[in-house]
Amino acid sequence: MKKTKIEWCDSTFNPVTGCLHGCEYCYARRVAQRFAGYDLNGGVTTNCPLPRAELTEPLAVTWKNGKTVQAPYPFGFEPTLHRYRLEEIQRWQKPRTIFVCSMADLFGEWVPDKWIEEVFAACEKAPQHRYLFLTKNPFRYEQLHQKGILCKSDNMWYGYSATKDGYDFWFDSQYNCFVSVEPLLGLLGIVDTKWVIIGAETGNRKNKIVPQKEWINTICNIADNMHVPVFMKDSLIPIVGEENMRREFPWGKS
Ligand code: SF4
């Protein structure tokens, strides 16, 4: 079981890793680069044989301490399908809320439909779980919907990321749609959605932006008017205070 520190899910599942969006504040890229590489010809390399790599079997990597392990990010943050991971969620018998591809944008325009279909198929084979997806490219949801590929199932939740006004959004009442405002970088309004997550930028990035209380209140007021639950990440505690934290889920208590 891949336990996670992400507060709004129980576990993560990463059959696809890597992303080409290039967000400055990207935590996933930092982790992938730190643990990048695989063993090749007696050394460790991150050379990727193809622009999009598909791995049926895991590669190995030998760390500086001499330990050889399964390479978590053999090609760093280059988009990679780890096909050998697809069945792991079937082995998790207890129902979980799972963030799918926390280390990628599964719906980035560079991701082949086939990869997405393989991930959906894996999720359908483990229907005991709830699956949360997130993208910065919500237009892809619409494209997949038009092609009849987007899974229409009660346990699938399709999210998109927004950080400040001007973001792309997507809503279709046939699906569970949500918005993750994380990190909140400016004043922003939200539109039709079934759930809102809000979080501040974390880490030590030099140009880190601390959200203003007014930005958070604006989002909460709109959500309240729409009767939509709000989940605030712990990174907001210093701004709103523990007593004002909201940890609401659209499916009831987590
Ligand atoms: S979309 Fe997400 S994974 Fe991709 S670069 Fe931005 S923060 Fe990182």
For residue 91, how far is its CA from the centre of ligand 1 (angstroms)? 28
For residue 44, how far is its CA from the centre of ligand 1 (angstroms)? 25
What atom of ligand 1 comes closest to residue 103's alpha carbon? 3
For residue 234, how far is its CA from the centre of ligand 1 (angstroms)? 20
- Out of 14, 29, 109, 197, mutate this one to test ligand 1's pocket (max ligand atoms within 8 Å of CB): namely 29
Is the dihedral angle over the CA atoms 231, 233, 236, 241 positive or is it negative?
A: positive
- Which of helix, strand or coil describes residue 217? helix
For residue 66, how far is its CA from the centre of ligand 1 (angstroms)? 31
For the Cβ of 136 lying below 6 angstroms from any atom of ligand 1, the answer is: yes
For the Cβ of 60 lying below 6 angstroms from any atom of ligand 1, the answer is: no
In this predicted structure, what is the pLDDT of residue 191? Answer: 87
For residue 20, how far is its CA from the centre of ligand 1 (angstroms)? 7
pLDDT digit string, tens, across residues 79-126 = 999 999 999 999 999 999 999 999 999 999 999 999 999 999 999 999
For the Cβ of 55 lying below 6 angstroms from any atom of ligand 1, the answer is: no
In this predicted structure, what is the pLDDT of residue 20? Answer: 96
For the Cβ of 205 lying below 6 angstroms from any atom of ligand 1, the answer is: no
Q: Residue 253: exposed, middle, or buried by beta-carbon count in 10 A (0-12, 13-18, 19+)?
A: exposed
Predicted TM-score (pTM) of this structure: 0.94
For the record, the structure tokens of 139 come out as 């237009």
The CA–CA distances, whole Å, from 172 to 28, 138, 152, 191 equal 28, 11, 11, 12
What atom of ligand 1 comes closest to residue 161's alpha carbon? 1
For the Cβ of 26 lying below 6 angstroms from any atom of ligand 1, the answer is: yes
pLDDT digit string, tens, across residues 184-198 = 888 888 889 999 999
| pLDDT < 70 stretches in the chain | 1-3, 206-207, 253-254
For the Cβ of 105 lying below 6 angstroms from any atom of ligand 1, the answer is: yes
CA 251 from chain centre, in angstroms, equals 19
Which H or E element spans position 31?
Answer: helix 27-34
In this predicted structure, what is the pLDDT of residue 201? Answer: 86
The CA–CA distances, whole Å, from 188 to 136, 149, 152, 165, 177 equal 16, 31, 29, 5, 18
What atom of ligand 1 comes closest to residue 21's alpha carbon? 5
In this predicted structure, what is the pLDDT of residue 169? Answer: 87
For the Cβ of 23 lying below 6 angstroms from any atom of ligand 1, the answer is: yes
The CA–CA distances, whole Å, from 164 to 77, 120, 136, 147, 198 equal 25, 30, 12, 30, 11
Cβ proximity of 32 and 17 under 8 Å: yes
What is the full DSSP assignment across 88-115?
GGGG--S--EEEETTTB-TTSTTS-HHH
For residue 41, how far is its CA from the centre of ligand 1 (angstroms)? 32
In this predicted structure, what is the pLDDT of residue 221? Answer: 96
For the Cβ of 135 lying below 6 angstroms from any atom of ligand 1, the answer is: no
Residue 119 has φ and ψ, to the nearest 5°, of: -65, -45
